[in-house]
Amino acid sequence: MLSKTEIAQRIAQELQDGWYVNLGIGIPTLVANYIPEGIEVEFQSENGILGMGPFPFDGEEDADLINAGKQTITALPGAVYFDSATSFAMIRGQHVQLTVLGAMEVSETGDIANWKIPGRMVKGMGGAMDLVASAENIVVAMMHTNKKGESKLLKSCSLPLTGVGCVKKIVTNLAVLEVIPGKGFQLLERAPGVSVEEIQKATAGTLIVEGEIPEMKL
Amino acid sequence: MLSKTEIAQRIAQELQDGWYVNLGIGIPTLVANYIPEGIEVEFQSENGILGMGPFPFDGEEDADLINAGKQTITALPGAVYFDSATSFAMIRGQHVQLTVLGAMEVSETGDIANWKIPGRMVKGMGGAMDLVASAENIVVAMMHTNKKGESKLLKSCSLPLTGVGCVKKIVTNLAVLEVIPGKGFQLLERAPGVSVEEIQKATAGTLIVEGEIPEMKL
Amino acid sequence: MNKVVENVEEACKDITSGVTIMLGGFGLCGIPENAIAELVKKSITDLTCISNNAGVDDFGLGLLLQKHQIKKMISSYVGENDEFERQMLSGELEVDLIPQGSLAERCRAGGAGIPAFFTPAGYGTEVAEGKEVREFNGKPHILESALTADFAIVKAWKGDTAGNLIYKATAKNFNPMMAMAGKITIAEVEELVPAGELNPNEIHTPGIFVQRIFQGETYEKRIEQRTVRTK
Amino acid sequence: MNKVVENVEEACKDITSGVTIMLGGFGLCGIPENAIAELVKKSITDLTCISNNAGVDDFGLGLLLQKHQIKKMISSYVGENDEFERQMLSGELEVDLIPQGSLAERCRAGGAGIPAFFTPAGYGTEVAEGKEVREFNGKPHILESALTADFAIVKAWKGDTAGNLIYKATAKNFNPMMAMAGKITIAEVEELVPAGELNPNEIHTPGIFVQRIFQGETYEKRIEQRTVRTK
């Protein structure tokens, strides 16, 4: 079973040289720490920066320089600042090659729910709806089951949707899966030491298992 | 009868303090030379400058600094450059208080034609269609009649339209007129020495003459 | 063209109860601190506020929420504010949640005279309810309308007497579009300079969009999530 | 992220006959001189060119017109070019004339993933033929669609190796929107600097929109209407 850090590590393997990448809050943010050797990517934060760097050193924080998670950050050489309309022009116009974000539920048709629990949690969708409706590549980073042990990979989402038919790939603590439209979750890789049966048990939606499923390499 | 310069001079009286103004090519450009005392206006040129100044001194031309007529210009203190989308955001969004432009024909319903003579002259509309469709105040600067002596103030335009029902005021070499929707051209002022009868004769559309028509002051 | 007003009182003098106000900023970054304090002081109520976020409990728009001055919020993300969530869930506060990109674009559209546009964001979700759906290039989009406001209040780093503005880093965010979309746009700046001192090539918001400008008195610039690494 | 290519040949190597190209510039101001010369040299034909103007007879896009390399022009104003007018009136050249503001906004929309928007410009004129009309706030608007291109070629003043661009004065014009709307965007610049040398606050076009960048060899920067006053 993967730790959150290892989920991020596995997702980092999806990065390709020259890609612009938007990382959501939580596990996705950790992906930036595992960029593979020899690959150059640039991180976009939707509040208005391209070329986001690491957190500042203590005492060097700038209140005017934050990421979409409102964390203080730094800018790398070649960075650029822009307004929110331009930022979402990049996103909606598909200039960002990869979006990594968390989810509360994903359906086997690629629907995603991650912004609202009616009557309980209403924080708003932020940029998530724009991101999932626009990105060519969306990787969801999440635990395979919720705190109650219920599967987060469903036939259809029970929570209000963030987007429809948009998730392509899911990396959980148990597996790497691909959404095959009209079919279900195709199992691509198992987490080290996790069996197909365990993944099957934790997956409420249709799981497609074809041939030998390799263990993922980190 | 007014000269072209005097038409510009009369139009300059329409300027109000604090207005942003877009001046078209030809007579409208001359308006900038007659800003009334004590009034501050700023000129927008739709290719991307606010705060346009006079022509440069000989030898000081900058190929990168032109107006929409492609003439070399200068920038006044407080000027700003912007892209074409932002420029027309200003225009379409009605942030420009006055547009002055020339016309080949104006109808008594406020239609304007100034961009095309089918089969003969096809230069394109440039920014004129955006300007006339958007501006709150449009003043047309033109000769009352064309080179053949035919009226340019018509019941309806014969040439392809630039905009529909948008002209508010017209200043010609003979008169100042206002378009009253559903009624016609209301005569507001006569050029010095020009009679109502002469204006009537040169106006093919409905001319509304109410009471004494004053002579314009320059 | 001198847009300078004496101070924040003068800038906000005709903002009354019941109006719609856009406020720039992302979280607590780039918010018009002085004008928010003035709105609190004026004790006006029934405001409709368009702002990406709602501040935190004791800073930013949270200050207006505490005093129940806001009737309706139009935002994309309102986490980090317990009082907000309480007022919303209890029904005291009307809330219209909008995808962040659509919010930004709707403000820009309002300023640019574009009454409506199509976007894929929100299709198939509750955001799309009651909105026209149309397919372009095989992909469904929804029709979103422009947003404008009686007042837009923005915060810039530098500004000149003609109303030209320059923002700093990510404090830019929603400020430029909101500046475009206010019937009256009020800019507060950290440094106010005479027209001509800013490089016309480096200005982010042309002065034509700004009706009033003043120099803010103090800026707390509170940081919401102080994250650092050690040397 | 290094976007630098050796020279103009390298930048334009895969531009072939029949493609759609956007070209920045207003008149002769801010046009990509080096790339235009290269397109002439390549002798490719059947091009669809999206550009506000068509140059003059012997400079700018006029050079491509002379050699009959352009099949279709999408522009707002094509005066100042006799050869253009001749080819258009004789039917040799397809021409789509678009209001300037709609042209700018359609390019921006293409780059921003907005497939269509409403604008009042052109309502009631031949530009509106076949287009949907809808009233907003009592005023009729027409629905305009996004424009994109196989290649966008823009000219900037300064650029860095990451593709970030800064334009000078009114040479900015259509370049920023076209940079957004190209499937492949090529930028030629007067001065190419290493990433990190441009102030991230002063950049007009973020490098994400640019796929290739090179330093232009020489710039004639011809002036179309030299107007001066005497001291």
Tokens 């450059």, residue? B81
> Is C76 exposed, middle or buried, given 0-12, 13-18 or 19+ CB atoms closer than 10 A?
buried
SS3 A143: coil
* Inter-chain touch A55–C227, beta carbons under 8 Å: yes
Which member of A44, A77, A134 has the closest CB to residue D113? A134
Rg of chain A in Å (alpha carbons) = 17
In a domain, residue D199? The reply is yes
pLDDT at D86 over 90: no
- Contact residues for A127 (Cβ-Cβ < 8 A; gap 6+): A46, A68, A88, A91, C76, C99, C100, C101
Cβ proximity of B117 and B159 under 8 Å: yes
Pairing of strands C47-50, C70-75: parallel
Distance CA A61, CA A72 (A): 6
Cβ proximity of D64 and D84 under 8 Å: no
Residue type, D3: K
What is the strand order of the sheet A98-101 is part of?
A: A74-81, A49-53, A42-45, A20-23, A98-101, A138-141, A169-171, A175-180, A184-190, A207-208
Q: pLDDT value at position A120?
A: 79
Spell out a b/e string for B81-90, using b for 16 or more CB atoms within 10 Å of the CB, else e.
bbbbbbbbbb
Q: How many domains does chain D have?
A: 1
- Cα distance between the two ends of chain B: 12
Q: Answer whether B touches C (≥3 Cβ pairs < 8 Å).
A: yes
Closest residue on chain D to B58 (Cα): D228
Structural domain of C49: 8-116+148-215
DSSP state of A165: S
Alpha-carbon C74 to chain mean position: 10
Which member of D108, D161, D206 has the closest CB to residue A50? D206
Q: Which of C166, C156, C160, C174 lies closest to C202, judged by CA?
A: C166
Cβ proximity of C17 and C46 under 8 Å: yes
CA B104, B107, B111: angle at the middle one, nearest 5? 85
Q: pLDDT value at position C2?
A: 94
Count contacts between B and C (CB, < 8 Å).
66
Spell out a b/e string for D150-169, using b for 16 or more CB atoms within 10 Å of the CB, else e.
bbbbbbbbbbbbbbbbbbbb
* CB-based contact, C178 to chain A, within 8 Å: no
Q: Which of A50, A51, A17 lies closest to A35, judged by CA?
A: A17
Distance CA B139, CA B169 (A): 5
> Is C132 exposed, middle or buried, given 0-12, 13-18 or 19+ CB atoms closer than 10 A?
exposed
Q: Between D83 and B7, where is the model more confident? A: B7
Which member of C113, C161, C200 has the closest CB to residue B75? C200
pLDDT above 70 covers a percentage of chain C that reads 100
Distance CA C226, CA C124 (A): 36
* Inter-chain touch C118–D120, beta carbons under 8 Å: no
* CB-based contact, C223 to chain A, within 8 Å: yes
Alpha-carbon B184 to chain mean position: 19
Residue type, B71: Q
* Inter-chain touch D114–C119, beta carbons under 8 Å: yes
Residue D80 pLDDT grade (very low, low, confident, very high; cuts 50, 70, 90): confident
SS (H, E, C) chain C: CCCECCCHHHHCCCCCCCCEEEECCECCECCCHHHHHHHHHHCCCCEEEECCCCCECCECCHHHHHCCCEEEEEECCCCCCHHHHHHHHCCCCEEEECCHHHHHHHHHHHHHCCCEEEECCCCCCHHHCCCCEEEECCEEEEEEECCCEEEEEEEEEEEECCCCEECCHHHCCCHHHHHHHEEEEEEEEEEEECCCCCCCCCCCECHHHCCEEEECCCCCCCCCECCCECC
Residue A91 pLDDT grade (very low, low, confident, very high; cuts 50, 70, 90): very high
Closest residue on chain B to C198 (Cα): B78
* CB-based contact, D119 to chain B, within 8 Å: yes
Q: A140 has which bridge partners?
A: A101, A170
pLDDT digits (tens, 9 = 90+) for C97-136: 999 999 999 999 999 999 999 999 999 999 999 999 999 9
How many Cα atoms are found within 13 Å in the side-chain-facing hemisphere of C44? 19
Residue A119 pLDDT grade (very low, low, confident, very high; cuts 50, 70, 90): confident
pLDDT at A56 over 90: yes
CA separation, residue C8 to residues A170, C32, C213, C218 (Å)? 51, 10, 9, 12
Which member of D109, D118, D169 has the closest CB to residue C116? D118
- Helix B84-92 crosses helix C100-112 at what angle (to 10 degrees)? 70
In a domain, residue C156? The reply is yes
Cβ proximity of D30 and D173 under 8 Å: yes
Query: Mind telling me how many Å the CA of D66 is from chain B's nearest CA?
Result: 18
In a domain, residue C175? The reply is yes
Query: Mind telling me how many Å the CA of A73 is from chain D's nearest CA?
Result: 14
What CATH number is given to the structural domain containing C80?
3.40.1080.10
pLDDT digits (tens, 9 = 90+) for D176-208: 999 999 999 999 999 999 999 999 999 999 999
* Inter-chain touch C112–B81, beta carbons under 8 Å: no
In a domain, residue C123? The reply is no
Closest residue on chain C to B77 (Cα): C196
In a domain, residue C152? The reply is yes
Which member of D108, D112, D164 has the closest CB to residue A78? D164
Alpha-carbon C44 to chain mean position: 18
The mean pLDDT of A15-39, rounded to a whole number, is: 94
Count the neighbouring beta carbons within 10 Å of the beta carbon of residue C129. Answer: 8
CA atoms A8, D195, D166, A66: torsion sign: positive
In a domain, residue C131? The reply is no
CA separation, residue A161 to residues A116, A157, D192 (Å)? 8, 7, 46
* Inter-chain touch C95–A122, beta carbons under 8 Å: yes
Distance CA C135, CA B206 (A): 47
D106's enclosing H/E stretch is helix D100-112
Q: pLDDT value at position C85?
A: 84
pLDDT digits (tens, 9 = 90+) for B116-175: 998 877 789 999 999 999 988 999 999 999 999 999 999 999 999 999 999 999 999 999
Give the active site residue among A46, A105, A108, A189: A46
Distance CA D25, CA B189 (A): 42
CA separation, residue A99 to residues A4, A15, A104, D4, D105 (Å)? 17, 10, 16, 26, 27
In a domain, residue C122? The reply is no
pLDDT digits (tens, 9 = 90+) for B15-33: 999 999 999 988 999 999 9
* Inter-chain touch C122–A58, beta carbons under 8 Å: no
Rg of chain B in Å (alpha carbons) = 17
Tokens 């002055």, residue? B100
pLDDT digits (tens, 9 = 90+) for D106-154: 999 999 999 999 999 999 999 999 999 999 999 999 999 999 999 999 9
* Inter-chain touch B78–C162, beta carbons under 8 Å: yes
Give the residue numbers of B annotated as catalytic, written as ranges. 46
- Cα distance between the two ends of chain C: 49
Residues in chain B whose Cβ is within 8 Å of chain C: 18, 20, 40-42, 44, 49-51, 75-82, 85-86, 88-96, 134
Q: Which of C106, C107, C114 to mutate to test the interface with D (most CBs of D within 10 A)?
A: C114
Tokens read off for B107: 């109808």
In a domain, residue C136? The reply is no
* CB-based contact, D1 to chain A, within 8 Å: yes
Q: pLDDT value at position C64?
A: 96
Distance CA D205, CA C122 (A): 27
* Inter-chain touch B75–D169, beta carbons under 8 Å: yes
Spell out a b/e string for A5-25, using b for 16 or more CB atoms within 10 Å of the CB, else e.
ebbbbbbbebbeeebbbbbbb
Cβ proximity of D38 and D10 under 8 Å: no
pLDDT digits (tens, 9 = 90+) for A133-149: 998 899 999 999 999 99
Q: pLDDT value at position D65?
A: 95
Alpha-carbon C50 to chain mean position: 6
Distance CA C78, CA C188 (A): 24
Q: What is the pLDDT along chain C (231 residues), one digit of tens a residue?
A: 899 999 999 999 999 999 999 999 999 999 999 999 999 999 999 999 999 999 999 999 999 999 999 999 999 999 878 888 889 888 999 999 999 999 999 999 999 999 999 999 999 999 999 999 999 999 999 999 999 999 999 999 999 999 999 999 999 999 999 999 999 999 999 999 999 999 999 999 999 999 999 999 999 999 999 999 987
